[in-house]
Structure 1
Amino acid sequence: MALAIDLAQRGVASVVFESRAEGDRFSARTNMTNVRSMEHFRRWGIADALRENDPVSPRIQRDVAFVTRLNGHLIQHFPRAYEWSERLPVASEVAEWAPNEAIEKTLRARAAELPLIDVRFGHEVESFEQDDDGVTVHVTGPDGPRTFRGSYLVAADGSRSRLRGRILNVRLEGKANLARSFLWHLRAPGLAEHWKASPMVSMTLFYNEDRSCDSLVPQSGEDQWAYFCSPVPDHIDGDDWEACRDMLFRAVGAEFEVEPLEGGTFITHSMQAPRYDFGRVLLAGDAAHLVSPMGGFGMNIGIGDAADLGWKLGALVQGWGGPLLLASYSIERGEAARFILDGCERNQAVGASQLVRDGIEDPGPRGDAVRAEVAEDIRVQKARQFKRMGGQLGYRYSSSPIILRDGVEEPAADFEDYVPSAAPGNRAPHHWLKDGSSLYDHIGQGFTLLVLDDIETGPLRRAAAARGVPLDVVAPGEPDRAALHDLYLAPATLLRSDHHVAWRGHELGDVDRLLDVVTGWSAWSATVTP
């Protein structure tokens, strides 16, 4: 849906086939739309709509709490881990903690506003064939089988992708079977009454003598919840509701009225496809990569895929994009996925099983001392899962053939701490302009040249116009110009619509060569001109 929205805003039509009926319940594990995804939602005009669609009670604080049990002791508390009341200097948006119900509602509503998107519920792609000119897709739906023809096909059909596995015959690579997990969506109208150890929060993790690695997340109002566990204890069958319910009762410290809505076991993997482009057929989202949920990156990597792929498919359909764009999609998003998968694997490796100490539930000074020790361990080893920006904003496209690097050596990307960099391939450093707008609000649908000094832009403008390449030029005034100079360290920087730096330099020399590379007609050369 995100990709269709991105394409429609570029004037490119698409059809979305969804196997579910329009009214079917879909309880995904998604809750967090992180800072980077919200920047894309802002670009698609839906960031504020997502906040408005959040169905969770306003009484529930957007915090993370570690407790022994709901009626036990508070161990560690991260206030506003999932919400900021003030804007961030390093980003155009803040994260939004809202369950999948709100995310899907927001995307569907935006798609319905855009006439270039044709969403067909109850339709499933059975097979496809591709040739030099396009892709023929065979679909079954309420009215029987039909055939559709398009320029490209994007398979975003989930972790068990049949199009990837059975038709393309692509196997995922990486670390399979990281953990056996379960997730149950449930209705429990009286559960809120049992919150004693902490306020009601967005995520409550239970660290007690059971060492069960379980957590509780609100889904709607104060009566619908998600109960999650990873890894599941060896003696528990995650498909056995009664066994999982008894675990939940132990975690809460009381029995209460509860109704299972749906749920069961799933396996956590950390894997991705060896590449995401196969001729005119592309993989995106969980069809391309599977990530541990420890960190909330699963959906967010897919949103990043849509942002990267949208402008490239648009360029190809509109005729100004070259053949290297699809290969660059695999290279860029593959690098981003590897970075995020590695960080989430490290999150998965540290939980209640590793951090709980004997005596954590003891009353009095002895228990207080143990809980203080565990709280410090959580602060050191788990904070990156909830508060750090490196995984969200710090990935870069260091191997892309459509990025012109300038020879500047950079330290390795850090999953925990984000350090803005305008070196080509990085997400462009953000800045709030003196008029209150975000720098990103001025980035166009094609390329945007950020000009911070007197520099002749005419040749690039004319060359882009001759090729049909959309190009905007942004030249901020003072004091924004001085602040941006400190961030970008060059008088001119070429930005892509997905906010990544394509080139920066002190003069616009061979503009045809520059456009050849960034539009995918010619690969970047290893020779760097100072």
Structure 2
Amino acid sequence: MDVTVVGAGPVGLVLAAELALAGATVQILERRAEPDTAMKAQSINVPTAEALDRRGLLPAAEQVQRETLDRVGPYARTAEHRPPGAGRQGPESRFTGHFAGMVLDPGLVDWSDPDLAAHAATDGARMVPQPQLEALLADHVSRLGVPVRRGVEVTTLDDTGDGVRVGTTAGPVCTGWLVGCDGGHSTVRRLAGIDFPGTDPELTGYQAVVDIADPEKLAEGWTWSSQGAYRYGPQPGRVATMEFDGPPAGLPDTRLRSRGRTPTAPVTLEEVQASLRRISGTDVTLTALRAAPTRWTDNARQAAAYRSGRVFLAGDAAHVHPPFGGQGLNLGVGDAMNLGWKLGAAVAGWAPEGLLDTYDDERRPAGAWVLDWTRAQIGVLRGDAKSAALRGIVADLLNTRAGTTYAVKKISGVTQRIDLHGDHPLVGRFAPDLRLRNGSRLADHGHRGEFLLLDRSPDGAFARLAAAWSGRVNSVGDPHGTPAGVLVRPDGVVAWASDTSGVTDVAALEAALRRWAGAPSSSSSRNR
């Protein structure tokens, strides 16, 4: 195989799909015999939804959202999806999320804000829980012919300089490149010798859906006590707990082991009940688990390098942090989209010099921001008097139109930007909803994973130039309009844009094409 991906979660599935679209042969190794059904992220952000959109998966994601709303509809009116009494249509039904348990009121959001208004096409595909997302992506990679080998664990790896020899429980594997998408306890990261610095945990949290014998003993919403905080609802039986009695620095697993548990051991009903009783100060009784629960901490770490030779890391293997807002899932999908086309270009032999190095350069700042965004929420969530005072101030700020709009923009991902040193305001941003005169959208033309060039020049000058990159650039003509031209990378990031179509604009487009899409097709050759 050209590339072997370790881990069949959303990140590994997205990465494998992108590589397959780029023409690489790819396989996925997954230690679990069956897909993971544990409760994790309950929604996706705008860049993730738009990534699905560009690959033709938006209808499937919209169907998942409809089914999710049908399932939780009676309770979603009090969740962070919409306020009491709001209907399913209009701005009030848009997903907002929360910051440190403080629900963001959709009615306070300025939905006309240019950043939000430019990315509204995927509003109907945001409430996609992680298990359903994995199923959707598994179908996608299956259609692309990517094999997923389950029940296979990686045991050794040897980067030979021209490939990687991987020892597994199913026998040896020889591959051109290896990518670890195998989670926070990544075996690939450990075997590659990549350090994982960061901050040790101060809390342990649980998330579960349970049957409760005496639910009247719990208060709805978030409740703080001297032992921590818990949340009950909005759906019946959904509980989350946080206890701020974490292990000493340098011994992140001590407390869990002292209670007969390790961080990777299955969560039991008794474990969730004990945590809920300690925090609530009641003798509430849980009688059954109705969904696979999860255990988490505020352990926040980022790999010292996202690449070591022919070995890469993506997703939780590259960064871990508290799970607030499902940021980890979205951050990992962003990693996969960024690395997929670049590694595919290297396999195909047309990658310009230094292209693979831009993966770490571009994704590391995004990871660092998410770590700090979630750390800040931990600071606000603590049960001590100082954090409570800070929580009150933050709540006041979030109760303003400007404050809520700011938080929603950050959580949704619409303000993400890569520094690509371009003059046009779109450069480095995720491409906005660009609608064409024929009724289609630019995203509709990206299903094959190529660069997209929107050409609105009067004489088609941009498309004529891009013809030399045939097979890598899909030119879409749409005469007249602003911007006059936009070049979108396969990961959805705008690499070049111009409001005019003169000689200097054509020259700037050529420079961008050479920078990101390599030499023209006529001078490239496949080199594995």
TM-score range relative to shorter protein: 0.7 to 0.9
Whether contact under 8 Å (2:298, 2:378) holds in the other structure is no
Per the normalisation by structure 2, the TM-score is: 0.72
Where does residue 41 of structure 1 map in the other structure?
A: 52
Residues 107-143 of structure 1 deviation map (CA, whole Å, 9 limit, x = unaligned): 223333332x100110011122233432222221xxx
Whether contact under 8 Å (1:272, 1:289) holds in the other structure is yes
1: CA distance, partners of 2:349 / 2:163: 14
Where does residue 269 of structure 1 map in the other structure?
A: 299
2: CA distance, partners of 1:31 / 1:339: 21
1: CA distance, partners of 2:489 / 2:46: 18
Where does residue 451 of structure 1 map in the other structure?
A: 455
Deviation at 1:58, TM superposition (A): 3.0
**CA RMSD, Structure 1 to Structure 2 (Å):** 4.2
Whether contact under 8 Å (1:170, 1:273) holds in the other structure is yes
Residues 241-267 of structure 1 deviation map (CA, whole Å, 9 limit, x = unaligned): 657525536759883543357657543
Whether contact under 8 Å (2:435, 2:441) holds in the other structure is yes
For structure 2, list consecutive stretches of 5 or more residues without a partner in the other structure. 1-12, 82-100, 248-254, 261-268, 521-528
- Of residues 316, 322, 329, the one that matches 1:299 is 329
Deviation at 1:519, TM superposition (A): 3.0
- Of residues 207, 210, 217, the one that matches 2:223 is 207
Distance 1:284 1:226, change over 3 A: farther
Where does residue 368 of structure 1 map in the other structure?
A: none
Supply the AA of the counterpart residue of 2:396: E
The aligned runs of 1:350-361 (5 Å cut-off) are: 350-351=380-381, 353=383
Where does residue 127 of structure 1 map in the other structure?
A: 156
- Of residues 378, 396, 403, the one that matches 1:376 is 396
Supply the AA of the counterpart residue of 1:406: G
Percentage of matched positions with identical amino acids = 25
Distance 1:458 1:98, change over 3 A: closer
Moved more, 326-335 or 56-65: 56-65
Supply the AA of the counterpart residue of 1:476: D
Deviation at 1:302, TM superposition (A): 0.5
Distance 1:350 1:247, change over 3 A: same
Supply the AA of the counterpart residue of 1:59: P
1: CA distance, partners of 2:43 / 2:282: 27
Supply the AA of the counterpart residue of 2:316: D
1: CA distance, partners of 2:56 / 2:463: 32
2: CA distance, partners of 1:373 / 1:135: 52
Distance 1:308 1:372, change over 3 A: closer
2: CA distance, partners of 1:382 / 1:248: 32
Where does residue 25 of structure 2 map in the other structure?
A: 13
Supply the AA of the counterpart residue of 1:157: D
For structure 1, list consecutive stretches of 5 or more residues without a partner in the other structure. 67-74, 199-203, 361-370, 409-420, 523-530
1: CA distance, partners of 2:120 / 2:153: 38
Deviation at 1:374, TM superposition (A): 8.8
Deviation at 1:168, TM superposition (A): 1.3
Where does residue 279 of structure 1 map in the other structure?
A: 309
Whether contact under 8 Å (2:206, 2:241) holds in the other structure is yes
Matched, 1:185 2:214: no
Deviation at 1:372, TM superposition (A): 9.8
Whether contact under 8 Å (1:277, 1:330) holds in the other structure is yes
The aligned runs of 1:460-471 (5 Å cut-off) are: 460-465=465-470, 470-471=472-473
Whether contact under 8 Å (1:151, 1:280) holds in the other structure is yes
Where does residue 506 of structure 2 map in the other structure?
A: 508
Supply the AA of the counterpart residue of 2:208: H
- Of residues 422, 441, 447, the one that matches 1:406 is 422
Supply the AA of the counterpart residue of 2:344: G
2: CA distance, partners of 1:494 / 1:374: 39
Q: More helix per residue: 1 or 2?
A: 2
Where does residue 344 of structure 1 map in the other structure?
A: 374
Secondary structure of the equivalent of 1:406?
A: coil
Where does residue 345 of structure 2 map in the other structure?
A: 315
Supply the AA of the counterpart residue of 1:446: E
Whether contact under 8 Å (2:228, 2:244) holds in the other structure is yes
Relative CO higher for 1 or 2, CA cutoff 8 Å, sep ≥ 6?
2
